[in-house]
Structure 1
Amino acid sequence: MNWLDFSSSAFIAAFFLYCFGFLFYVMAIAGRKWSHGDPAGHERKWGRIAFIVSALGLAAHLAFFFTRWIGQGHIPVSNMYEFMTFLGMAVMLAFVIIFLIYRKPILGMFALPLVIIIIAYASVFPQESQPLIPALNSYWLKIHVTTAALGEAFLAVGFAAGLLHLLRTIDYASDAKNARRERFWIEVTMFMLIVAVGFIISVFSFRMAGYEAEFRQETADVTQAGEAVSNVETVRYTMPPIVQPFNSELLHADAFLGVDKPLLEAPSWMNGINAGRKLNTVIWSLLTGAILYGLLRLAFRKQLGAVIHPMTTDIDPDDLDEISYRAIAIGFPIFTLGALIFAMIWAQIAWSRFWGWDPKEVWALITWLFYSAYLHLRLSRGWHGKRSSWLTVIGFVIIMFTLIGVNLVIAGLHSYAGV
């Protein structure tokens, strides 16, 4: 049996089951108005169906994980594709645990899209099975990465509940300055999530179209002996080059909408030939996300938060606040073990030092300090409700930058994770 082929099929099955599970959760919540006088019964029925379908998706995801492990001979968490798929699975597992405790179907409307976005994002990266590089060939890979991801998964569920709490409690009928400011920042949060979807859509759209462009960049380095050494590098774009690398030469580019050359050049301070490609990807993600957001605003003719707000009116906001806190209270010690303690032990074994100010280490510490402050403010200063929920949103932004920005943009000892 080809375990890797089976794992790929299981992954596709998990993705579609998650999508159907999300749709059923939407039917459970949004369909209450058509429930013929029994909205609670309608929500329970479709919520149960949604949970079963989502649980089947988790089972398929687990099948993907373990069959890929068997097929390649090592735990599949060694590159961005494998880690992000594992993170998506961990978020789903965390959601199932929290759901079984609190039984709130509307939480699935926010947790499932996170899972779908994460594993769709994972699919952007090369999916071929790769042998472990020497730096990762350790049993600490299993311990450090899995516990760190599981901790982050519970923190992500805390974010979902916190965002839902804000959507429930923000006043969409008031013209007060504070209410307008809260609505603005909620809409910014929704836009950021849609930009993430825009990134996935743009990458897959141009990949399916087979778009290619290639640039060559020549740089000069000075050796210790004072001799000038010329380096020539090439980079391939899979999206139309709005921005080309600094001081580079276009080798070829497919035409897109009649344009076959870059519009701009990356600034000189963006070092490396890949810097322009990454900036180009960010621009396309923002453009696609903005178009998608604009279409949604045009369709609904109101802010996206205002579209979701009426679905949350039957939920006790204190329950959402409690769910968010409990998820973070579970995830924080797991994250502490995985991302800090186990990471430092492995760093001592691999690099002969516990701490080295590597960018990933620094941002893991920033994440830990932020959630330490969150728990301190909540338990000692009484920061409940909206203030606590806004902190969960900020914390999730920090997590996403740690996972994506540090891995793919900032060079460091963890750069292999972006391969």
Structure 2
Amino acid sequence: MVAFYLYCASFITYAIAVGGKRWSNRKPEDHTRRWGKIGFGLAVTGWLAHLTFFFTRWYGGGHIPTSNMYEFMTFLGMAIMLAFIVIHLIYRNMLLGAFALPLVIIIVAYASVFPSEVQPLIPALNNVWLKIHVTTAAAGEAFFAIGFAAALVQLIRVVDFNGTDKAAKRSQFWTEFSLFVIIVLVGFLVAVFAFRGSGYEASFSQEKTTIDDSGTEYTSVKEVKYSLPPIVAPYNSETVKFQAFLGMKEPLFEAPAWMNGVNAGRKLNTVIWSVIAGLVLYGLLRLLVRKKLTAAIHPHLSDIDPDDLEEISYRAIAIGFPIFTLGALIFAMIWAEIAWSRFWGWDPKEVWALITWLFYSAYLHLRLSRGWQGTRSAWLAVIGFLVVMFTLVGVNLIIAGLHSYAGAE
């Protein structure tokens, strides 16, 4: 919690560095430098608190804290902060923190959605190669996150918001949409914590039929609990408990038949609430600034050289790529051979890790060999990190597989 609040204070300080320079009595560069140094100091202090949490939990739990979704996401947030510190020390860009810190804050807040209790390791996870695999893979993804932040700033910086041609409107739309996706993630957190704080709860009994290899049919009934008002009920279920919300006394519809997993309906319900909360939050922000959010941010980035941002994004990805290659592929294969007696098994997480690696391989190839620089390179960095986030969140929580994290339910 100390780390989280220090990260929030650091972000506010960086926001002052970006947005307050026009109202400062100092020269704009002096104002930015002063507040940027304060923001960086708070970020480093927060990271040291985060590091203290990591090692004390490791000592108290008896194993490296990356074994469930809560631990992994908090570790990823810490790794992103370390990547930001490294890139900042190389380039001394005072404004990158205004866009890197929100990522860390969102990821740490997202981690707190999951159960935080220390859980014992199953035998397959109690191996040194797993520790090496997970930590190095997360470190590589952390540098991809910094590359994403720099690329997004670059895109907002170079968009022509006065242009009316098709190309300009397309650029305006997609940069705004990229920011909207981040706001939807924030909306998810707002919805979860708001209803959790109010003590909302609903539950359903769901009947599920399975057929084994011999053709025998089994029927089981499981209880599905919701912490968000059920817009969508689980497939083939009956209501056990329902708290009315805004006049809604029953779910609006049932999940389709093909979504017959025990938690499929609840996950769809969560996605719908995330979009609703994101739209409300986005609408409030639009009312506040009375223009597109990217158009409101754009004037404050006029002092930044977009070529510098493109170089930062490329350098961060270039550092992260070999680390990710070692962690997500090579070390992962060694652990898979030890745990499951095979190097590769086409598990969903393995497939998406390979897709991520191939995407960033293409990014580096196109940038170095084909001269894809500027906005094309920036868009690849943004899309690449969206692939990373789907690999981390979508595969872990939606697609069942051997890599589904404990605590993901």
Shorter-chain TM-score: what band? over 0.9
Change (3 A) 1:264 1:73: same
Distance 2:238 2:187 in 1: 29
1:76 aligns with 2:65: yes
Please list the CA deviations of residues 54-84 of structure 1 after superposition, one character each: whole Å capped at 9, or x if unmatched: 1100010001100110111110000100000
Give the counterpart letter for 1:413 in structure 2.
Answer: L
Matches within 5 A, 1:199-278: 199-278=188-267
Matches within 5 A, 1:18-167: 18-167=7-156
Distance 1:225 1:75 in 2: 42
RMSD: 1.0
Give the counterpart letter for 2:67 in structure 1.
Answer: S
Q: Secondary structure at the match of 1:68?
A: helix
Distance 2:238 2:180 in 1: 35
| Deviation for aligned residue 1:416 | 3.2
Please list the CA deviations of residues 243-287 of structure 1 after superposition, one character each: whole Å capped at 9, or x if unmatched: 001111111111212323111110111121200000000000000
| Deviation for aligned residue 1:225 | 4.4
Change (3 A) 1:226 1:108: closer
Distance 2:130 2:5 in 1: 29
| Deviation for aligned residue 1:223 | 4.0
Higher deviation after alignment, 31-40 or 190-199: 31-40
Change (3 A) 1:185 1:39: same
Distance 2:105 2:59 in 1: 24
Asked if 1 retains the 8 angstrom alpha-carbon contact of 2:234 and 2:265, the reply is yes
Find the counterpart in structure 1 of residue 321 from structure 2: 332
Find the counterpart in structure 2 of residue 287 from structure 1: 276
1:169 to 133, 158, 177: 158
Distance 1:75 1:223 in 2: 37
Distance 1:106 1:116 in 2: 17
| Deviation for aligned residue 1:141 | 2.1
| Deviation for aligned residue 1:95 | 0.2
Higher deviation after alignment, 255-264 or 90-99: 255-264
Give the counterpart letter for 1:323 in structure 2.
Answer: I
Distance 1:387 1:224 in 2: 50
Please list the CA deviations of residues 360-392 of structure 1 after superposition, one character each: whole Å capped at 9, or x if unmatched: 000000000000000000000000000000001
Q: TM-score, normalised by structure 2?
A: 0.98
Q: Secondary structure at the match of 2:241?
A: strand
Asked if 1 retains the 8 angstrom alpha-carbon contact of 2:73 and 2:110, the reply is yes
Find the counterpart in structure 1 of residue 178 from structure 2: 189
Give the counterpart letter for 1:278 in structure 2.
Answer: K
Distance 2:378 2:135 in 1: 26
Runs of 4+ residues deviating >2 angstroms = 219-229, 416-419
Question: In the comparison of the two structures, how many residue pairs are matched?
Answer: 408
List gaps (5 residues or longer) in structure 2. Answer: none
Q: Secondary structure at the match of 1:185?
A: helix
Q: Secondary structure at the match of 1:259?
A: coil
| Deviation for aligned residue 1:29 | 1.5
Distance 1:219 1:146 in 2: 38
Distance 2:405 2:380 in 1: 31
| Deviation for aligned residue 1:311 | 1.0
Change (3 A) 1:77 1:391: same
Q: Secondary structure at the match of 1:371?
A: helix
Distance 1:136 1:235 in 2: 28
Find the counterpart in structure 1 of residue 289 from structure 2: 300
1:311 aligns with 2:300: yes
Please list the CA deviations of residues 294-321 of structure 1 after superposition, one character each: whole Å capped at 9, or x if unmatched: 0001111100100110111111111000
Change (3 A) 1:222 1:101: closer
Give the counterpart letter for 2:245 in structure 1.
Answer: F
Asked if 1 retains the 8 angstrom alpha-carbon contact of 2:208 and 2:260, the reply is no
Give the counterpart letter for 2:344 in structure 1.
Answer: W
Change (3 A) 1:29 1:416: closer
Distance 1:383 1:140 in 2: 37
Q: Secondary structure at the match of 1:349?
A: helix
Give the counterpart letter for 2:262 in structure 1.
Answer: I
List gaps (5 residues or longer) in structure 1. Answer: 1-11
Find the counterpart in structure 2 of residue 178 from structure 1: 167
Distance 1:373 1:341 in 2: 19
Q: Secondary structure at the match of 1:215?
A: strand
Give the counterpart letter for 1:79 in structure 2.
Answer: N
Q: Secondary structure at the match of 1:273?
A: coil
Q: Secondary structure at the match of 1:416?
A: coil
| Deviation for aligned residue 1:219 | 2.2
Distance 1:231 1:328 in 2: 47
Distance 2:317 2:212 in 1: 50
| Deviation for aligned residue 1:229 | 2.2
Find the counterpart in structure 2 of residue 367 from structure 1: 356
Distance 2:217 2:75 in 1: 45
Find the counterpart in structure 1 of residue 373 from structure 2: 384
Give the counterpart letter for 1:267 in structure 2.
Answer: P
